[in-house]
Each structure stands twice: as C-alpha cells, then as structure tokens.
Amino acid sequence: MSRADDDNAAPAGWRSRLKQIIEGYDAVLSLQHRREIARELQDEEDLFMLLCFCDMMGIPNPVGDMTLELYPYMLDRFHEWHQRQGMPRSPLDGFRCC
C-alpha cells in the first residue's frame, strides 16, 4: 500500500470512528424516547385493529364491508396484535393466523 493510500485510509478510519461515536451517543440518549414513541404507535395500532375487527368481537361495525377487504393485508399485524393482547392463539374462528 502506498503512502497516499495510508493517508486516505487514516481520515476515513477517523470519520467512521467519529460516526460510530455519534451514533452510539444518539442511541444512548434516544433509547427512552424511542420506547415511548413505540408505545404510542403501538396503542394507535391496537385501536386501529380493534376498529377493524370489532364486529367479529360482537361490537357493531358500520363499515365492516370495507374493513373486510383489509384482512388479507393485516394477517401478520393481527397475529402480533392478539399476542400483545395476551391471546397466544387467534381468537377468531374465521381468521386463523396461527
């Protein structure tokens, strides 16, 4: 490796090291904030899922025909949701994700 390559490698190493330090510092400070944001988003998600599936739980849903079309796209999210609600298996007969 030539001297010029060495000179280029050193600043690049420095830059990547500095970037790592800044990213680590940001991760330290934003850990708690990210948790709260994730919790807020999860709550919104849970409410949305409840609105979509409320008719299958005995709550009348005036827009059931439309939300029905969403079901195929929501299979994975539905699975995560019912597990989060403390139900290890799918609670719906017609909607078996697991």
Partner 1 sequence: MNAIWIAIFGAVCFVMGYRFYSKFIAERIYRLDPDFQTPAHTYQDGVDYVPTNKWILWGHHFTSVAGAAPIVGPAIAIYWGWLPAILWVVLGTVFAAGVHDFGAVVLSNRHKGHSVGTLANKLIGQRAKLLFLFIILILVLMLNAVFAWVIANLFITFPASVLSVLIQIPLAVWIGYRVYRHSGSMLLPSVIALVVMYATALLASEVPILQFDLVSWFGGTDTAVAGGFNATSMAFLVWIVVLMAYVYIASTLPVWKLLQPRDYINSHQLVVGLALLYLGLFFGAPEMTAPSVNGEAEVSWYPLLFITIACGAISGFHGLVASGTTSKQIDKETDARMIGYGGALGEGMLALIAIIAVGTLFASSADFTATYSSFTAAGSNGLGSFVKGAGQLIGNLGIPEHMGSTLVAVIVVSFAATTLDTAIRLMRYIIAELGTEYGMPVIARKHVATSIAVIASAALVILPEGPKGFGSGGYLLWPLFGTSNQLLAGITLMLVSVWLKRQGRPVVFTLVPMLFLLVMTLWAMGQQVIFTWSGFGDADRNLLLFTFGSLILVFALWILLEASRSFRQGPTASQESLSSDESR
Gyration radius of the chain over CA positions: 24
- Of 72 and 86, nearer to partner 1 (C-beta) is 86
Placement of tokens 């490796």 in the chain: 1
CA dist 73 → 29, 49, 70, 80, 83 (Å): 35, 12, 6, 13, 18
The site map against partner 1 for 64-93 (x = CB under 8 A) is --------------------x---------
- Of 13 and 24, nearer to partner 1 (C-beta) is 24
Q: E strand or H helix at 21, and its extent?
A: helix 3-53
- Of 8 and 30, nearer to partner 1 (C-beta) is 30
Residues 14-43 that bind partner 1 (CB under 8 A): 22, 24-33, 35-40, 42
Two tokens, residue 14 = 């420095």
- Of 36 and 76, nearer to partner 1 (C-beta) is 36
Two tokens, residue 49 = 């899922």
Which residues are at the interface with partner 1 (CB under 8 A)? 22, 24-33, 35-40, 42, 84
